């Protein structure tokens, strides 16, 4: 669970739990102890929780080299809900307030009736936003904000490419990049064109019918949300001196040093795994960075302010009831969602 918790209260809750790595049968519902908040934590009655590709990658065991939770573990990385109990020292929130949060990287717990949230990582839900939409903001919104602001350093007039622009992160990234003054080109399928344009994309590239290097040339930077062959194509269209940031490619040594832990073994593993991409980067004279986002209450509050001001729109593709969360996972894994997939706990 998020934060340090104790489980001696004798109360239980319904939760969606990872029991073993592999396919969908590795997850299921279970009665789990209801957590109690420690210092600096709040207990949240979860109303909604967003699903993300990282969720099924955890289930598949693909993150095992960097994240090894003791099983069974309650799944889920982001949530929106109501504060029902305060730990000692909590000052920013009161019982009954609506908050949303993305916890620490190495902690789960959102797919349950109750979850803990660290006060420093949470923010108040914008008054105009319902829980179905609020639950889909934290992870994707923070990823978009941090990659654009902190890694790509987007500025007015910058020419930016976003691949896979109509997924969860992409729908936030298009809007934020435009707010930062960038000229934005986006790849997506033809079925996503209208959505991408409505979010502000200046150029929409149908990845099924257009070659990326025919459609755009010499962009200042790229945010890759697809990985694979699409990521490699980015190296042909970013100009020398530019930068490619990916959340779907292969981690490189800086990922371990800056985003996870400076352990030598992990840096060595990422050095080997990313050799081909780093070779491409040197050959093309561009920078390559794989980015793991981090939870941040202040960054979430910044996103909340933009939503409140109607400058940032939250795009939700589908909402599933908690009892159909397995169907939600299957839908997300198909890779066709336009915006966020959210689970409603109530």
Q: By percentage, how much of the chain surpasses pLDDT 90?
A: 84
User: Helix or strand or coil: residue 96?
Assistant: coil
> Where are the strands (E) in the chain, listed by range?
12-18, 27-33, 41-51, 73-74, 78-86, 98-102, 114-118, 122-124, 159-163, 183-188, 203-206, 219-224, 238-246, 287-290, 316-321, 340-344
pTM attached to this predicted model: 0.94
8 pLDDT tier (thresholds 50, 70, 90): very low
CA angle 104, 106, 301 (to 5 degrees): 15
Residue 51 predicted with pLDDT over 50: yes
Q: Where are the domains of the chain?
A: 12-137+315-344, 140-290
CA angle 35, 135, 22 (to 5 degrees): 70
Alpha carbons 159 and 218: distance in angstroms, whole number: 8
Q: Read off the pLDDT of residues 173-184 as tens digits, 9 standing for 90 and up.
A: 999 999 999 999
- Mean pLDDT, range 276-302, rounded to an integer: 96
pLDDT of residue 4: 43
Residue 1 predicted with pLDDT over 70: no
Q: Report the 10 Å Cβ neighbour count for 34.
A: 21
Counting Cβ atoms within 10 Å, is residue 304 exposed (0-12), middle (13-18) or buried (19+)? Answer: buried
Residue 44 predicted with pLDDT over 60: yes
The mean of the pLDDT values for the chain is 93
Architecture of the domain whose range is 140-290: 3-Layer(aba) Sandwich (3.40)
Tell the CATH superfamily of the 12-137+315-344 domain: Medium-chain alcohol dehydrogenases, catalytic domain (3.90.180.10)
Q: Read off the pLDDT of residues 119-138 as tens digits, 9 standing for 90 and up.
A: 999 999 999 899 999 999 99
6 pLDDT tier (thresholds 50, 70, 90): very low
Q: Read off the pLDDT of residues 74-128 as tens digits, 9 standing for 90 and up.
A: 999 999 999 999 999 999 999 999 999 998 876 799 999 999 999 999 999 999 8
The pair of structure tokens assigned to 17 is 């739990």
- Mean pLDDT, range 289-300, rounded to an integer: 95
């Amino acid at each position: 669970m998020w934060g340090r918790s104790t489980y001696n209260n004798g109360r239980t809750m319904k939760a969606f739990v990872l029991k073993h790595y592999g396919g969908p049968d590795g997850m299921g519902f279970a009665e789990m102890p209801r957590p109690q908040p420690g210092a600096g934590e709040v207990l949240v009655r979860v109303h909604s929780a967003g699903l993300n590709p990282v969720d099924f990658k955890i289930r598949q065991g693909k993150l095992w080299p960097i994240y090894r939770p003791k099983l069974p573990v309650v799944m889920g990385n982001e949530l929106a809900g109501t504060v029902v109990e305060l730990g000692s020292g909590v000052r920013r929130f009161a019982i009954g307030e609506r908050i949303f949060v993305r916890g620490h990287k190495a902690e789960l717990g959102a797919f349950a009736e109750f979850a803990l949230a660290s006060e420093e990582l949470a923010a108040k839900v914008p008054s105009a936003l319902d829980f179905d939409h609020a639950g889909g903001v934290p992870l994707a919104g923070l990823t978009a904000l941090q990659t654009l602001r902190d890694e790509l350093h987007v500025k007015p007039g910058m020419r930016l490419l976003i691949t896979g622009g109509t997924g969860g992160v992409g729908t936030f990234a298009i809007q934020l990049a435009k707010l930062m003054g960038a000229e934005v080109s986006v790849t997506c399928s033809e079925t996503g064109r209208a959505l991408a344009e409505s979010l502000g994309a200046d150029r929409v590239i149908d990845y099924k019918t257009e070659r990326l290097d025919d459609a755009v040339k010499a962009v200042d930077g790229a945010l890759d949300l697809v990985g694979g062959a699409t990521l490699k194509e980015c190296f042909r269209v970013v100009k020398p001196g530019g930068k490619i940031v990916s959340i779907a490619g292969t981690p490189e040594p800086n990922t371990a040093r800056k985003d996870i832990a400076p352990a030598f073994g992990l840096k060595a593993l990422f050095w080997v795994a990313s050799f081909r991409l780093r070779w491409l980067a040197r050959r093309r004279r561009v920078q390559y960075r794989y980015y793991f986002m981090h939870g941040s209450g202040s960054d979430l509050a910044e996103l909340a302010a933009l939503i409140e001001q109607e400058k940032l729109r939250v795009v939700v593709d589908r909402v599933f009831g908690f009892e159909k969360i397995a169907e939600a996972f299957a839908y997300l894994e198909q890779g066709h969602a336009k915006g966020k997939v959210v689970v409603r706990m109530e």
